[in-house]
């Protein structure tokens, strides 16, 4: 068993990881600690030091770490020897999740979808969505947007914009046409109109698309926000040109923006929706593709995967829906907390006008644009030393991204933002001194 207490490891606490774990590890480099316990908005390292978690597994833990209601549901299920794995056979756990999804998420929102369970990662869901769109339309091309992030398996990666990740493919990434996201060229350029014009031009050079895939808020891409009007236009353009409209709600969904789906108030009805990250509510791997019934044209087993029946995830996902989404109270709370977060970020921006270029994002998916990693990296390091876990996003890692638990207490949120404010001010001051010298 791994023993953090032995003298050799006390001297070099990460020796085991450095010797045995692949170089590909990444978050561990930003947050050099050995995490052991976690509760609510806090993670504790093996020496007992607490950290406020403004990363939450990149929005996997929207309800915080080890939420008591979710944990109890899982412990009860394990205790009665509930089936853990059953391929994609019927299980009671799956049935109960589906009923909660229908009764408390889909029906109240007037939505009718079939649920396709894929392998348990977001990329698995995106792969399935892209394959299904191609199968249904008989077309190959998929339109994805600048700064989009859809996962790193080859199909999903072809839709992802980031060159660092794309470079890791070492093979051509085919079948996707990149188009500018909402606001990519500034507020005065209508990128939806451009897309429509290019698709409408027989010499526009863009093959007829099977689908257009979009994130309503770009998580990894830098908290860029699509307007409701732009989303409606993109949906219309997709349908006008015979393509499906896919919304990737893997990071922005499950309440992150203040509603269960991030596009709920936008007046769009996606043909396909991909979900993962916070869907299980407890950090258990689980992914879901919601498909309009008429598009559910798979033949049995045509797309599969061994781990489509993670019953523990079904149990906690149902418990999460029951606990947080049985009525509108939680959403209202999240919206309030999101306003508190935004107000405080605005204050930090005002106090540090030299380095903070603006505020990005929506709801509880907000952050500070500090221009470059020359500012964001030292802030992340300084914050970590003071007990705050916060990460960056964007093409230049220029966005300090706050992904706190949605149910974080005001006190914990304020404490984390106090650390963030101090660290931004500290780095701003250091940079001002540096440039004056």
**Residue 234, φ and ψ in degrees, nearest 5:** -60, -40
Give whole-number Cα distances, 267 to 76, 232, 276, in Å: 40, 7, 22
Cβ-based neighbours of 113, under 8 Å, separated by 6 or more:
106, 273, 290, 291, 292, 293
Residue of closest CB approach to ligand PLP: 122
Q: Compare residues 220 and 369 and give the one whose CB is closer to ligand PLP.
A: 220
Of 115-123, 228-236, 256-264, 380-388, which part binds ligand PLP (CB under 6 A)?
115-123
Q: Compare residues 274 and 352 and give the one whose CB is closer to ligand PLP.
A: 274
DSSP for residue 260: S
Q: Which residues pair with 213 in a beta bridge?
A: 246
- In the set 276, 284, 286, 349, which binds ligand PLP (CB under 6 A)? 276
Note whether 215 binds ligand PLP by CB under 6 A.
yes
Note whether 219 binds ligand PLP by CB under 6 A.
yes
Are the CB atoms for 1 and 16 separated by under 8 Å? no
Give whole-number Cα distances, 157 to 142, 150, 163, 165, 336, in Å: 12, 7, 10, 7, 35
Of 65-73, 85-93, 116-124, 134-142, which part binds ligand PLP (CB under 6 A)?
116-124
> Nearest-CA neighbor of 254 among 95, 67, 409?
67
DSSP for residue 28: H
Site string for ligand PLP, 67-106 (x = CB under 6 A): ----------------------------------------
Are the CB atoms for 44 and 4 separated by under 8 Å? no
Note whether 266 binds ligand PLP by CB under 6 A.
no
Calculate Rg over the CA atoms of the chain.
22
Lookup result for tokens 């221009």: 371
Tell the smallest beta-carbon distance from residue 181 to ligand PLP (Å): 13
Give whole-number Cα distances, 185 to 178, 179, 192, 430, in Å: 14, 11, 12, 32
Interface with ligand PLP in residues 278-337 (CB under 6 A): none
- In the set 41, 121, 257, 278, which binds ligand PLP (CB under 6 A)? 121
> Nearest-CA neighbor of 246 among 180, 150, 177?
150
DSSP per residue over 13-32, as a string?
TTHHHHHHS-TT--HHHHS-
| Residue-level length of the chain | 437
Are the CB atoms for 223 and 367 separated by under 8 Å? yes
Q: Compare residues 41 and 121 and give the one whose CB is closer to ligand PLP.
A: 121
> Nearest-CA neighbor of 342 among 312, 375, 364, 320?
364
Note whether 149 binds ligand PLP by CB under 6 A.
yes
- In the set 56, 137, 158, 251, which binds ligand PLP (CB under 6 A)? 251
Note whether 118 binds ligand PLP by CB under 6 A.
no
Rounded Cα distance between 228 and 31, Å, is 36
DSSP per residue over 287-310, as a string?
-EEEE-GGG--PPTTSS--S-S-B
Q: Compare residues 250 and 421 and give the one whose CB is closer to ligand PLP.
A: 250
Q: Compare residues 40 and 283 and give the one whose CB is closer to ligand PLP.
A: 283
- In the set 40, 119, 122, 222, which binds ligand PLP (CB under 6 A)? 122
Q: Compare residues 153 and 431 and give the one whose CB is closer to ligand PLP.
A: 153
Interface with ligand PLP in residues 229-248 (CB under 6 A): 248
Of 118-126, 193-201, 310-318, 333-341, which part binds ligand PLP (CB under 6 A)?
118-126
- In the set 40, 64, 151, 255, which binds ligand PLP (CB under 6 A)? 151
Tell the smallest beta-carbon distance from residue 277 to ligand PLP (Å): 6
Tell the smallest beta-carbon distance from residue 46 to ligand PLP (Å): 26
Tell the smallest beta-carbon distance from residue 303 to ligand PLP (Å): 16
Are the CB atoms for 142 and 133 separated by under 8 Å? yes
Q: Compare residues 254 and 341 and give the one whose CB is closer to ligand PLP.
A: 254
- In the set 70, 126, 319, 417, which binds ligand PLP (CB under 6 A)? 126
Of 86-94, 179-187, 214-222, 360-368, which part binds ligand PLP (CB under 6 A)?
214-222
* Binding stretches for ligand PLP (CB under 6 A): 121-123, 126, 149-151, 215, 219-220, 248, 250-251, 276-277
């Amino acid at each position: 068993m791994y023993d953090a207490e032995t003298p050799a490891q006390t001297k070099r606490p990460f020796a085991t990881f450095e010797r045995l774990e692949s170089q590909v590890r990444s978050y561990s480099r930003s947050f050099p600690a050995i995490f052991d316990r976690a509760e609510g908005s806090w993670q504790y390292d093996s020496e007992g030091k607490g950290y406020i978690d403004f990363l939450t597994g990149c929005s996997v833990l929207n309800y915080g770490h080890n939420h008591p209601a979710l944990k109890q549901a899982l412990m009860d299920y394990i205790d009665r020897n509930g089936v853990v794995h059953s391929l994609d056979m019927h299980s009671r756990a799956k049935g109960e999740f589906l009923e909660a999804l229908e009764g408390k998420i889909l029906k109240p929102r007037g939505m009718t979808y079939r649920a396709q369970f894929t392998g348990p990662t977001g990329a698995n869901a995106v792969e399935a969505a892209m394959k299904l769109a191609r199968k249904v339309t008989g077309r190959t091309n998929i339109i994805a947007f600048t700064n989009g992030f859809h996962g790193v398996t080859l199909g999903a990666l072809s839709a992802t914009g980031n060159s660092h990740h794309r470079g890791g493919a070492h093979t051509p990434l085919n079948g996707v046409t990149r188009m500018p996201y909402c606001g990519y060229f500034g507020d005065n350029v209508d990128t939806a109109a451009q897309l429509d014009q290019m698709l409408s031009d027989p010499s526009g050079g863009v093959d007829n698309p099977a689908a257009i895939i979009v994130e309503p808020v770009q998580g990894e891409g830098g908290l860029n926000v699509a307007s409701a009007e732009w989303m409606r236009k993109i949906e219309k353009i997709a349908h006008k040109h015979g393509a499906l409209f896919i919304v990737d709600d893997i990071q922005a969904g499950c309440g992150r923006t203040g509603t269960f789906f991030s596009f709920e108030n936008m007046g769009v009805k996606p043909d396909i929706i991909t979900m993962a990250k916070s869907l299980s509510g407890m950090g258990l791997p689980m992914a879901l593709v919601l498909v309009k019934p008429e598009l559910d044209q798979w033949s049995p087993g045509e797309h599969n995967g061994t781990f489509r029946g993670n019953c523990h995830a079904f149990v906690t996902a149902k418990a999460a829906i029951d606990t947080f989404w049985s009525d509108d109270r939680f959403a209202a709370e999240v919206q309030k907390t999101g306003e508190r977060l935004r107000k405080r970020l605005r204050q930090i921006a005002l106090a540090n006008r030299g380095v903070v270029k603006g505020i990005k994002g929506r709801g509880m998916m907000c952050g500070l644009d500090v221009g470059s990693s020359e500012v964001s990296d030292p802030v992340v390091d300084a914050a970590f030393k003071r007990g705050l876990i916060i990460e960056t996003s964007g093409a230049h890692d220029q966005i300090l991204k706050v992904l706190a638990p949605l149910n974080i207490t005001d006190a914990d949120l304020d404490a984390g933002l106090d650390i963030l404010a101090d660290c931004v001010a500290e780095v701003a001051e250091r940079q001002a001194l540096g440039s004056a010298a």
